[in-house]
Amino acid sequence: MGTLSIKESNKGSIKLSQVALLVSSIISLSSYSAMAEDVTANAVDVDEKITVTGSRFDRTADQQLTVINTIEREEIARLNPKSVADVLETLPGVSISRNGGAGQATSVSVRGSNSNHVLVLIDGVKVGSATLGTVSFNTLSPENIERIEVLKGPRASVWGSDAIGGVIQIFTRQLKDGEWFAGAEYGSNDYIRGSFGTGMSHGKGSTTLAVNHEQSDGYDVYNGAPVENDDDGYNRTSLSLKGSQQINQNWQALWNGQYDKGNTQYDDIYAFGSADESDFDNYLWNLAAQYSNEQFTSKLALSQSSDANENFRGDDITVPVSVFETKRDQINWSNQYLAANDLTFIGGIDWSNEAVKGDYAQDERDIFGAYILAQKQWSQLLAEVAVRYDDVENIDSEVSYNASLAYQLTEEWRLAASTGTAFKAPTFNDLYWPGSGNPDLISETAKSYDLTLHYQANDIHAYISVFKNTIDNLIAWVPTGEKDDYGFDIWKPANINQAEISGVELFTKFGLFGFDNQLAYTYLEPENKKTGEMLIGRSVEELNYSLSYQWQSFDFLANYHYQGKRYAGYDLYLEAYHKLDLSIGYHLDDAWSLRLKANNLFDEEIISAQNYFSPGREFFFSVSYQAF
């Protein structure tokens, strides 16, 4: 999402303090408040120890001091999403903007930050483009995903560059020996999907192999280009491999890989009538060795990821093919030392080399980072401090930190406060785009504050979080005052903008009359501090509510999403919209299942990116088999 802004009418607006008071009252009256770290839609036994990896190592939810939302495989299956964005949109503080349907370009914003202010990891490996600075979520298949974690707020002190708004961790499926699944699906716009996965054992280890293929004829995604009234289809094939081998009592080997290949047809508003298509060919692999005993765990991982896109048009276009490719080599050494029952140290070193293909003045750079985290428990008080140093070749160095405190008020109530800094290194396009890059750019930086009240009792889980994030040195393309040979203004990127994003985030999950309920609500005040105007592409309010029920062999899920209006520039606003999806499953036995999914049941006209239609009403029918 962009950082340009404009003022929105204050008529009928609600002040942030009023929202905080209102939401707090809802929590008190309803007794909904809970641990932020578990956001699955099914009720969870309070004795179940849920682990998350916000500090790089598996830790229980009550050991985490940042807000972490998770969604598990069972809920992903019931959502029956067509994209990873469909899953993320159900979580609080996560906003989605699409240039059409599942196969089209998608932007993900966490707590109002830019789409390139979110670090994305797949099985611990950083993915995305070093030229654009974003991740192609439309290339990922949700069918191969076991779990997603979304960490809120700046986490550069642990993860390095890009983690200004948060961190999205995607974990691929992992099966035990003898477990396997297969599925097939057909739906609107001639959508077809087939998937298969199996777990295999080898001594004291196992490996999971999963493959998925899907394709759709699509529909015309662009509104306003009559010469491009063609359907915009897509196809993608995803292959994932994940395994581990216990060598002895202390040593373990781990490996994983991901391969995504496909094609997307799209409408380019700047090239009407052209044959706009894009092929993508992305992969990652990771090899790791881990040593652990009762007190100490050390993990060394070697990995590589590639993000490659080839965009091509008709023969009448001057440059018919353009190629964008990023290759990233990574070495990560992470360590955890349990000094005592109430004292933990985590630290490590990260190194990566980013190389891009193209006519750039510089086409590669090294990034080095070192970090340390300490967590200490005193009775009801838990404290955590993290510091990290990063050096980005040819740019600058950054020191980031996080400091957090949590106090267990009662057995059910917990109050946590945190502050931290983060940064985003300029992309290769920002620095070296031929003819218009600016090699003098510095990193965008951010400072954030967060206060979160958690509640957990029986099957009631909730939290309310109040946050503020100030981002300096934002990069924007601006005219330099010079003219080119044709008399047009020359534009170049510069560190000229500053943004301040304040907000309230609420999540509640509870059972009532046999129904499982989940409510996620976000209120934002996103402001361009340089102009005093509202940031482009953000909604003041966003809400997601899901209602699920299980009865004998049937399960039912209704998911409602409200998106407030967004400013689109030039005094134009994207209209607010409502979207209702239904999913009904029938389990023939313990293995066979049938599912009917209806998206956008009321056929609402949805435009989340200017002039691009999201799909209308869609229906899908799937059959699956799981041997567990």
Res 372 pLDDT > 50? yes
pTM over 0.85: yes
Q: Write the Ramachandran bin of 111: left for phi over 0, alpha for psi from -120 to 50, otherwise beta.
A: left
Band of residue 393 on the pLDDT scale cut at 50, 70, 90: very high
500 vs 19: CA distance, rounded Å: 18
Band of residue 16 on the pLDDT scale cut at 50, 70, 90: very low
Q: Which residues have C-beta within 8 Å of that of residue 117, sequence separation ≥ 6?
A: 109, 110, 162, 163, 164, 165, 424, 444, 446, 471
Res 591 pLDDT > 90? yes
311: three-class secondary structure by DSSP: strand
The tens digit of pLDDT for each residue in 399-432 reads 999 999 999 999 999 999 999 999 999 999 999 9
Backbone angles phi, psi at 30, to 5 degrees: -95, -15
The overall average pLDDT reported for the chain is 87
Going by the DSSP 8-state scheme, the letter that residue 31 receives in this structure is: T
Going by the DSSP 8-state scheme, the letter that residue 144 receives in this structure is: G
Res 47 pLDDT > 50? no
Please tell me the predicted confidence (pLDDT) of residue 227. 52
Check if the beta carbon of residue 446 is closer than 8 Å to that of residue 421.
yes
The angle subtended at Cα 107 by Cα 469 and Cα 361, nearest 5°, is 90
The tens digit of pLDDT for each residue in 127-143 reads 999 998 889 888 899 99
The amino acid present at 437, given as its one-letter code, is G
Tell the residue number behind the tokens 């986490």, with chain if given.
155
The angle subtended at Cα 202 by Cα 201 and Cα 203, nearest 5°, is 115
Spell out the domains of the chain, with CATH numbers in brackets. Answer: 5-627 (2.40.170.20)
Q: Which residues have C-beta within 8 Å of that of residue 429, sequence separation ≥ 6?
A: 131, 132, 133, 437
Q: What letters, b where the CB count within 10 A reaches 16 and e where it falls short, cover 516-527?
A: bbbbbbbbbbbb
SS (H, E, C) 39-65: CCCCCCCCCCCCEECCCCCCEEHHHCC
Q: Which two tokens stand for residue 186?
A: 């057909």
Among the ranges given (34-43, 86-95, 447-456), the one the predictor scored with the smallest mean pLDDT: 34-43
Identify the H or E element spanning 416: strand 413-424
Please tell me the predicted confidence (pLDDT) of residue 271. 55
Q: Which residues have C-beta within 8 Å of that of residue 101, sequence separation ≥ 6?
A: 82, 83, 189, 216, 218, 219, 221, 232, 234, 614, 615
Res 8 pLDDT > 80? no
How many angstroms from the chain centroid is the CA of residue 167?
Answer: 7
Q: Which two tokens stand for residue 417?
A: 């406060």
Please tell me the predicted confidence (pLDDT) of residue 156. 83
Mean pLDDT, residues 83-112 taken together: 92
Check if the beta carbon of residue 32 is closer than 8 Å to that of residue 413.
no
Burial class (CB in 10 A: 0-12, 13-18, 19+), 306: middle
Res 11 pLDDT > 50? no
Start-to-end CA distance of the chain, whole Å, equals: 42
109 vs 106: CA distance, rounded Å: 10
Backbone angles phi, psi at 517, to 5 degrees: -120, 140
Distances (CA, A) of 415 to 35, 380, 466, 506: 10, 11, 12, 14
Q: Which spans in 199-293 are helix H?
A: none
In sign, the C-alpha dihedral spanning 170, 172, 173, 174 is: negative
Among the ranges given (13-22, 106-115, 210-219), the one the predictor scored with the smallest mean pLDDT: 13-22
| Residues facing residue 507 across a β-bridge | 463, 520
The tens digit of pLDDT for each residue in 614-626 reads 999 999 999 999 9
Mean pLDDT, residues 195-204 taken together: 95
Tell the residue number behind the tokens 């567990």, with chain if given.
628
Distances (CA, A) of 234 to 89, 247, 310, 428: 21, 43, 14, 28
141 vs 213: CA distance, rounded Å: 8
Backbone angles phi, psi at 178, to 5 degrees: 90, -15
Res 317 pLDDT > 90? no
Strands 396-408 and 381-392: antiparallel
pLDDT higher at 225 or 580: 580
Backbone angles phi, psi at 114, to 5 degrees: -65, 160
Mean pLDDT, residues 328-342 taken together: 95
Q: Which percentage of the chain shows pLDDT scores above 90? A: 67
Mean pLDDT, residues 370-394 taken together: 95
Burial class (CB in 10 A: 0-12, 13-18, 19+), 17: exposed
Band of residue 34 on the pLDDT scale cut at 50, 70, 90: very low
Res 126 pLDDT > 90? yes
The amino acid present at 223, given as its one-letter code, is N
The tens digit of pLDDT for each residue in 592-614 reads 999 999 999 999 999 888 888 89
Tell the residue number behind the tokens 């060598």, with chain if given.
247
C-alpha count within 13 angstroms, C-beta hemisphere, residue 504:
18
Strands 566-569 and 572-574: antiparallel
- Of 101, 109, 85, nearest to 1 (Cα)? 109
The amino acid present at 353, given as its one-letter code, is N
The tens digit of pLDDT for each residue in 68-83 reads 999 999 999 999 999 9
Q: Please give the biggest Cα pair distance in the chain.
A: 73
Q: Which two tokens stand for residue 434?
A: 């031929």
Please tell me the predicted confidence (pLDDT) of residue 571. 77
